[in-house]
């Protein structure tokens, strides 16, 4: 039973420290919607999503009212659409429009799964779907797309890496009139998890149930406030204990919401992703947590060490609070979605190279980074290859979501609004990896893959 102090503490976390449930995401399998006729398949897709997720938004709003816990996003993730496109043939963008229409009908914030898994090569439907991504992102608002190009078990598909550099550039060009926002809904992954509730990388893996509810919790502001109360003079190991205890409390709230949503909707409760997902709101920043640990500015010396401590402590606290921890789980470092990261980038403390170093110990990777619009496709592919290599060798998920904003130069500012935030265009190396990228082929799986 909770005592009155714990209840008051939770209320303070919600009201003053930006604690929330970042998302309840319903995963829906569309395997049974495959059809040799794409129009029939699209009808099945729309009917299944709108039937199973009909009450998702209302359920989330009911839980918010009942417990006073903000649930910021209600989302849906579906089977990678490339699998359906491989059966039906035809223009995959028909599926994109169908998913957008379903999202509009049920009222969710985003729908993910316009995806392909090509870490070992391209199967039927993969290339067609990948080549259609820029058009799909330009012609929809709520649809998110992801492509997994590598894994520890498979290595890195360098043909897919080369292709994705071009796809990111094309997505930027087709949405140039909207600050190239199409790229903000597209992520390239290595070791993509099948149960991730966070966009843009969410899809419903083939090993998942027919329908499941996953929860993503957040709370950077809560962690920062706890560290501030601990004071500037406590040893580092005590900071880790503070983070663990705080992550435990945050995760218990997610457990409550997930169990309640599962019971109301009549679908299995999948996982809690306990990632610290920042927002542009003041007091909701992972960068500010790192600075509370003693850094003058995020990105300076000591940043990677602080992030490693934070990520590990969050996971340790979370796994003690729930037996359902999954997804990504840890700390996100998206530049445009984190007020402290934006400030650090503007100050010159945070560079693309430092962010890459930080991704070796954080949850995901290079996320929501604005690049000059004249950045070449080959350079973007090189960035993707570097990030995938970190994930492959370290047996962790890494990702790249960069925005080569057409017409923008280093130092210019973008502003997407809402959770996507904004920030400065950051410089990228002027030295080209074109010779490597045009080789194609694949990077073999590392020794770490041989664990059977």
pLDDT tens digit sequence for 309-353: 999 999 998 888 888 888 888 788 888 888 899 999 999 999 999
The angle at the Cα of 223, spanning 217 to 226, to the nearest 5 degrees, equals 140
Q: Which domains does the chain carry?
A: 27-190 (3.20.70.20), 215-449 (3.20.70.20)
397 touches 343 (CB < 8 A): no
Model confidence band, residue 4 (pLDDT cutoffs 50, 70, 90)? very low
Question: Averaged over 43-64, what is the pLDDT?
Answer: 95
Which pLDDT belongs to residue 12? 57
Q: How far is CA 44 from CA 95, 144, 209, 305, in A?
A: 11, 20, 18, 49
Does the pLDDT of residue 412 top 90, yes or no? Answer: yes
Which are the contacts of 443, defined by CB distance < 8 A and separation ≥ 6?
A: 150, 155, 156, 158, 385, 389, 392
Q: The whole model's pTM is what? A: 0.92
Which pLDDT belongs to residue 7? 46
**DSSP codes of every residue in 113-125:** EEEEE-TT---TT
232 touches 294 (CB < 8 A): yes
- What's the mean per-residue pLDDT of the chain? 91
Which pLDDT belongs to residue 6? 52
Token code pair at residue 198: 């966070």
Q: How far apart, in whole angstroms, are the C-alpha atoms of residue 346 and residue 341?
A: 9
Neighbours of 440 (CB within 10 A): 13
Which are the contacts of 451, defined by CB distance < 8 A and separation ≥ 6?
A: none
Q: How far apart, in whole angstroms, are the C-alpha atoms of residue 81 and residue 92?
A: 8
Question: Averaged over 376-391, what is the pLDDT?
Answer: 97
């Amino acid at each position: 039973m909770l005592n009155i102090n714990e209840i008051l503490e939770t209320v303070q976390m919600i009201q003053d420290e930006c604690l929330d449930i970042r998302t309840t995401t319903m995963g829906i399998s569309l395997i049974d919607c495959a059809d040799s006729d794409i129009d029939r398949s699209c009808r099945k897709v729309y009917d299944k999503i709108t039937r199973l997720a009909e009450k998702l938004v209302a359920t989330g709003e009911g839980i918010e009212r009942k417990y006073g816990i903000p649930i910021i996003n209600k989302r849906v993730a579906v089977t990678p659409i490339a699998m359906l496109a491989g059966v039906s043939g035809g223009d995959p963008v028909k599926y994109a429009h169908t998913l957008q229409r379903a999202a509009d009908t049920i009222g969710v914030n985003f729908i993910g799964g316009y995806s392909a898994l090509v870490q070992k090569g391209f199967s039927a439907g993969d290339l067609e779907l990948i080549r259609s991504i820029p058009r799909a992102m330009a012609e929809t608002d709520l649809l998110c797309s992801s492509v997994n190009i590598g894994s520890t078990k498979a290595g890195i598909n360098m043909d897919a890496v080369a292709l994705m550099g071009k796809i990111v550039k094309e997505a930027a060009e087709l949405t140039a009139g909207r600050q190239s926002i199409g790229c903000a809904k597209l992520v390239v992954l290595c070791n993509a998890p099948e149960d991730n509730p966070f966009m843009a990388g969410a899809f419903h893996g083939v090993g998942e149930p027919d329908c499941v509810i996953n929860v993503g919790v957040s709370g950077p502001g809560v962690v920062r406030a706890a560290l501030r109360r601990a004071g500037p003079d406590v040893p580092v190991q005590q900071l880790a204990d503070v983070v663990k205890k705080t992550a435990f409390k945050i995760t218990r709230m997610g457990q409550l919401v997930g169990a309640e949503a599962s019971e109301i909707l009549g679908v299995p409760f999948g996982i809690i992703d306990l990632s610290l997902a920042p927002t542009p709101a003041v007091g909701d920043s992972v960068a500010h947590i790192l600075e509370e640990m003693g850094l003058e500015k995020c990105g300076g010396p000591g940043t990677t060490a602080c992030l490693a401590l934070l990520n590990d402590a969050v996971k340790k606290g979370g796994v003690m609070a729930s037996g359902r921890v999954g997804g990504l789980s840890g700390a996100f470092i998206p530049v445009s979605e984190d007020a402290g990261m934006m400030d650090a980038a503007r100050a010159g403390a945070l560079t693309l190279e430092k962010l890459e170093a930080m991704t070796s110990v954080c949850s995901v990777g290079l996320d929501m980074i604005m690049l000059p619009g004249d950045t070449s496709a080959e350079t973007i592919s090189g960035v993707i290859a570097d990030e995938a290599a970190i994930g492959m060798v370290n047996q962790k998920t890494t990702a790249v979501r960069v925005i080569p904003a057409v017409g923008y130069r280093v130092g210019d500012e973008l502003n997407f609004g809402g959770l996507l935030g904004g920030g400065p265009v950051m410089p990228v190396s002027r030295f080209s990896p074109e010779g490597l990228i045009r080789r194609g082929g694949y990077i073999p799986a590392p020794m770490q893959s041989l664990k059977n």
